[in-house]
Chain A
Amino acid sequence: MGLSTTVSQRKQIKRKAPRGFLKRVFKRHKPHLRLEKSGDLLVHLSCLLFVHRLAEESRTNACENKCGVINKDHVLAAAKVILKKSRG
């Protein structure tokens, strides 16, 4: 799949969606339901967006505390907010 667009990043991010993993997770939670073909891709998309928002929030928190490193408290605080938002 497509690699990281920014060359500055040292790590190569694989953009492949773990489709099997997503399907398995959904089945484990809701065995009586079925997921459509492209449905898991959209689930992956939603996860990506969630993680993206979480990262943004944690970065903001870390910057507010003037930390160069993202601490777990930053992440916790961010998670609280974002999870509330993603409730739907």
Chain B
Amino acid sequence: MADRSILGEPTPRTLLRRVLDTADPRTPRRPRSARAGAQRALLETPSSRRLRSQTKTTARWNSRGARSSGRLAHAQASGHLEEQTPRTLLKNILLTAPESSILKPESVVKPVPAPQVVQPSRRESSRGSLELQLPEPEPPTTLGPALLAPGRRKQRLRLSVFQQGVDQELPVPQEPRGNADASSLASSLNLTFATPLQPQSVQRPGLARRPGTRRAVDVGAFLQDLRDTSLAPPNIVLEDTQPFSQPLVDRSPSVRRSLPLPSHTAAEDTERAASRRTRSSGSAPWNNSPGKPAQFLAGKAEEVNALALGFRNTSSSISGRGVEPLQDGVCEEAEKRMEEEASPELACNTPEFLQPKQLHQLLEPVPPPGPAVLSSEPLEPLSARLPPRPRATGPRPRQDPYKTGLSHYAKLFSFYAKMPMEKAALEIVEKCLDKYFRHLCDDLEAFATHAGRRTVKPEDLELLMRRQGLVTDQVSLHVLVERHLPLEYRQLLIPCAFSGNSVFPAQ
């Protein structure tokens, strides 16, 4: 650099130095217009050199990182950074930046003597190809008049302004310049506009949406697990499904469809038995409306078909329940087959039939009536169990709280009796209590209407108890209250004098 200065050709470095030395050191808080003007003056004089130096420096900055240069640019534009003035920044750059220039193709440098209007576009283009966030020459010229809110929206403003500038400038250079240059530059510009979307996600990998880390369900493994679990505790599975028999009646076909899928893969008898078990356990308490699915005739095994037919006949002859509904819910062939094979098992809820050997014995030699007979037996208790369910839901809200209230008094009865009692006796007590309540209400109503009132007052209650013979001249109501009611209620019922000449409850 010293050599060059000696040679007489002003280098960017020397120019900057001269600029820094000559320009007045002003505080950042000065009016922006003055600052902008100073900046403009600074920029305009060594414009060409500045371009180059800035290209260099910005190129270097770009290589390092965008922010510093952005900050510098902003500082230049706004000039009100607290510690970093453009001056200081430039000084830093001069100190740190290497002398060798990482200059872009000469085409960028050549149009230096071009009019100043073009220069911003040039700078933009050169820089645009490198990095989007450094429209340094732009802000000084374009932001100079419009230093509205530089502090807040540094990048955004610059970007929009930059975009505007680009839009404005782009048509101009394209005309005088060759199409190749302008188009290439423009295209590079356009391209760079698209890139920022990626870098942001790259810079913040944590914010990037991760693809769902879901593995496709291994159907085979799932079915195998099903079979294994079904094999182990058959009783429990059977028992579990019972409570859900009623509500799941409609849903069970859709649910069970998923289960018979293993049947597709299963070709062996053992597997079939296992799936049968699952199906039986699942569909044991089924109570769908009976029907004659013709689909089942398309079964694979002839035996199964015969059995199914036999089952259907027998089931329809018996009750039309259980066996058929199981078959109803299934659509696919394998499922049907499973169903049919499972039906004898299903019908017999006993665990004995869950063993495959016995199943085979049943299926092959045993004619339909055999399992059908068995099926009838467990079906009946099932049917007996199921009807009470819907009934319970109906009058529940009326019965239960009333019953619980009466049972409270029934417990007190047993407590007072001090003797063991039968359950039936308790029920009678509840009935008596119900009768007593009715009588009580009628009497109270009579007393209230006699007094010309609509509200039942404690006086009515006292009168009632007197008539009952509980309250006598010897035994007053208060005595009874004290005897039988806990303290808290006593305080509420018996007026008591308190401090401050007050009585509670007020009489």
Residues on A lying within 8 angstroms of B by beta carbon are: 1-2, 4, 9, 11, 13, 15-18, 21-22, 24-26, 29-30, 32-39, 41-52, 54-56, 58-59, 62, 68-72, 74-76, 79, 82-83, 85-88
Contacts and interface: CB of A to CB of B under 8 A. Distances in A.
Listed residue (A42, A58, A72) with the most chain B CB atoms within 10 angstroms of its CB: A42
A59 B417 contact: yes
Contact of B456 (A11, A17, A35, A69): A35
A38 B465 CA distance: 15
A36 B136 CA distance: 86
Q: Would you call the interface of chain A mostly helix, strand, loop, or mixed?
A: helix
A50 B456 CA distance: 20
Nearest to A82: B432
B415 A9 contact: yes
Given A22-B405, A42-B462, A47-B409, 6 more contacts: A2-B487, A51-B433, A55-B413, A59-B417, A72-B424, A86-B439
Contacts of A50: 433, 436
B331 interface: no
A77 to B, nearest CB: 10
B458 A42 contact: yes
19 contacts: A18-B405, A25-B402, A30-B441, A30-B445, A33-B445, A34-B456, A35-B456, A38-B493, A42-B465, A42-B477, A44-B489, A45-B465, A47-B433, A55-B415, A55-B417, A56-B416, A59-B419, A75-B428, A86-B436
A54 B413 contact: yes
A56 B412 CA distance: 12
Given A29-B438, A46-B440, A48-B484, A72 B457 contact: no
B481 A45 contact: yes
B420 interface: yes
A26 B455 CA distance: 12
Contacts of A49: 465, 468, 470, 480, 484
Nearest to B457: A36
Contact of B428 (A4, A72, A85): A72
Interface in B412-444: 412-422, 424-425, 427-429, 431-433, 435-444
B421 A70 contact: yes
A29 B456 contact: no
Contacts of B418: 59
B505 interface: yes
Contact of B468 (A11, A17, A46, A71): A46
Contacts of A52: 412, 416, 484
Contacts of A9: 415
B485 interface: yes
B458 A33 contact: no
Listed residue (A9, A37, A39, A85) with the most chain B CB atoms within 10 angstroms of its CB: A39
B169 to A, nearest CB: 82
A43 B461 contact: yes
Contacts, number: 177
B415 A70 contact: no
Nearest to A35: B456
A65 B225 CA distance: 65
Given A35-B455, A87-B439, A51 B420 contact: no
Interface string B362-402: 00000000000000000000000000000000000000011
B357 interface: no
Contact of B440 (A13, A43, A76, A79): A43
Contacts of A30: 441, 444-445
B380 to A, nearest CB: 32
B102 to A, nearest CB: 87
B492 interface: yes
B328 to A, nearest CB: 45
A56 B439 CA distance: 21
B488 interface: yes
Contact of A68 (B414, B420, B468, B469): B420
B257 interface: no
Contacts of A82: 432
Interface string B281-307: 000000000000000000000000000
Given A34-B456, A45-B484, A88-B439, A71 B422 contact: yes
Contacts of B412: 13, 48, 51-52
A68 to B, nearest CB: 7
B30 interface: no
Interface in B441-500: 441-445, 448, 454-458, 460-462, 464-465, 467-470, 477, 480-481, 484-489, 492-493
